[in-house]
């Protein structure tokens, strides 16, 4: 347990996870926030998902030195199209590797590490060493007089915290999904790791209310539950808002397609309600159902795959494949209606915070979702449905009844839940936790 985790108080929070509407954004002149901003640096392991990357890249804009790490094994590197030659210049043989680099003049620092298979789960003590070396070298060079807050996005990175030792002055565990569902065969071990992460972290954040509530349940006492906050995914600040305003260019991929443009962006796998989309494609046969995301080319007989193949065979269904993030923003802003058609009977969906939720709200366009718990938090701003009939009716209503007032309300929500403001909420909560346990921080100029 690090120094901040000792003797903590309940001053920072209430006894249950709080939504962002109750989690304050620190004022620029708040002395607690000013002390944190001036005396701390942040390292994040890791930012392999776009959501975590969008969130933590905002640290530099807040005036806090930040190192964003992307850690992947050889197999995943090959799947991303990396050349095997690149492995020889990454820290595979504990060699020289690519230099840590700044992401533009106003961006965070970044480092990508390609590591041997098993580095995270089978051989973590050895596998985490190059990550620890990278963080240590970066801190000595970039932030030698600052304390280091380590943000871990998987509980396996507790080994990294141990490897860094006294260099880590504060620990944040940020859970974005129910990882027990990632690796069902290791669910018990993962739960044990998460219990440790909750007990040993100075602040714990869950991307959905359901996840935050579960993590809070691992706290040893009711007062200690206050260290767990609910921090949903934000709208990427660098995307801007309402990009499909009058005069905006139509994305080339949509040019010539019949309207309405009804769009889905994301992972096009078993979490999607494919029979629902079949019904939707039939109902709007004169328009275009647009799918953005990778579709694996296989002929497996799982029912959802059969339904997906049936859908893709329709003439009004248009799969665009994987798109760059900048293009995703433009497509979201061009759709007449965006979709979140996740299955309601899927436990992963019940526990998730859909990334497309704030992406869609930030476009200003109407959005229709199945009534997942996290989507219900935006009732009144998006259409919600519990079955196919309701879903089709909500899409039709969105096409026929949208208004400038409704659009403005969606944009207002996205602005309040921008990634920059969400990161301010997260680091502001950490700053208060620091103050509660280290009241002399403002006068402390020592590095960790």
Is the pLDDT higher at 249 or at 332? 332
Predicted pLDDT of residue 438: 58
Predicted pLDDT of residue 87: 56
- Enumerate helices (H) and strands (E) in the chain, giving the number of each: 18, 14
pLDDT tens digits, one per residue of 158-215 = 999 999 999 999 999 999 999 999 999 999 999 999 999 999 999 999 999 999 999 9
Residue-range domain boundaries for the chain:
3-234+418-443, 238-416
What's the sign of the alpha-carbon dihedral 41, 47, 52, 54?
positive
Class level of CATH domain 3-234+418-443: alpha beta
Domain 3-234+418-443 and domain 238-416, same fold? Reply is: yes
Mean pLDDT in residue range 341-347 = 97
Predicted pLDDT of residue 15: 33
Q: Which pLDDT band holds residue 391 (cuts at 50, 70, 90)?
A: very high
Rounded to two decimals, the pTM is 0.88
Full DSSP string of 135-199: HHHHHHHH-TTSEEEEEESSGGGHHHHHHHGGGEEEEEEEE-S-GGGTSGGGHHHHHHHHHHHHH
Predicted pLDDT of residue 297: 72
Q: Write the CATH number of the domain with boundaries 238-416.
A: 3.40.50.2000
Predicted pLDDT of residue 102: 65
Q: Which pLDDT band holds residue 92 (cuts at 50, 70, 90)?
A: very low
Strand stretches in 176-307, DSSP E: 203-206, 228-230, 261-265, 288-292
pLDDT tens digits, one per residue of 278-319 = 999 999 999 999 999 999 877 788 999 999 999 999 999 999
| Res 443 pLDDT > 80 | no
Number of Cα atoms under 13 Å in the Cβ half of residue 4: 25
């Amino acid at each position: 347990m690090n120094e901040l985790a000792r003797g903590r108080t309940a001053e920072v929070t209430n006894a249950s996870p709080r939504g962002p509407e109750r989690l304050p954004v620190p004022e620029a002149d708040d002395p607690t926030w000013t002390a944190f901003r001036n005396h701390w640096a942040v390292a994040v392991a890791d930012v392999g998902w776009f959501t975590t990357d969008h969130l933590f890249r905002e640290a530099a804009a807040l005036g806090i030195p930040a190192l964003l790490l992307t850690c992947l094994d050889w197999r995943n590197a090959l799947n991303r199209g990396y050349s095997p030659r690149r492995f020889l210049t990454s820290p595979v043989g504990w060699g020289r590797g690519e230099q840590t680099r700044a992401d533009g003049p106003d961006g965070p620092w970044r480092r990508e590490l390609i590591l041997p298979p098993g580095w995270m789960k089978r051989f973590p003590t050895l596998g985490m060493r190059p990550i620890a070396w990278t963080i240590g070298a970066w801190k000595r060079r970039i932030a030698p007089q600052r304390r280091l807050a380590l943000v871990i996005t998987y509980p396996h990175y507790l080994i990294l915290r141990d490897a860094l030792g006294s260099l880590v002055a504060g620990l944040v565990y940020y859970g974005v999904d129910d990882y027990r569902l990632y690796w069902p065969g290791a669910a018990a071990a993962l739960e044990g790791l998460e219990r440790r992460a909750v007990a040993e972290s100075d602040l714990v954040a869950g991307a959905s209310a359901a996840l935050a509530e579960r993590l809070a349940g691992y706290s040893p006492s009711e007062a200690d539950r206050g260290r767990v906050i609910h921090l949903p995914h934000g709208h990427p600040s660098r995307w801007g808002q309402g990009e499909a305003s009058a005069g905006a260019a139509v994305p080339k991929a949509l040019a010539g397609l019949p309207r309405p443009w009804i769009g889905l962006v994301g992972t096009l796998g078993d979490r999607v309600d494919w029979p629902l989309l079949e019904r939707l494609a039939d109902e709007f046969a004169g328009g275009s159902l647009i799918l953005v995301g990778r579709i694996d080319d296989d002929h497996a007989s799982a029912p959802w795959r059969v339904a997906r193949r049936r859908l893709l065979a329709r003439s009004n269904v248009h799969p665009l494949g994987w798109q760059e993030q900048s293009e995703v923003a433009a497509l979201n802003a061009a759709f007449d209606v965006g979709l979140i058609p996740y299955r309601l009977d899927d436990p992963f969906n019940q526990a998730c915070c859909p990334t497309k939720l704030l992406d869609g709200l930030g476009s200003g366009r109407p959005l229709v979702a199945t009534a997942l718990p996290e989507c219900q938090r935006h009732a009144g701003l998006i259409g919600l449905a519990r079955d196919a009939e309701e879903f089709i009716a909500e899409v039709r209503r969105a096409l026929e009844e949208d208004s400038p007032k409704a659009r403005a309300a969606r944009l207002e929500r996205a602005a309040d839940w921008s990634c920059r403001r969400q990161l301010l909420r997260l680091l502001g909560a950490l700053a208060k936790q620091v103050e509660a346990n280290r009241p002399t921080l403002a006068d402390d100029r020592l590095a960790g």
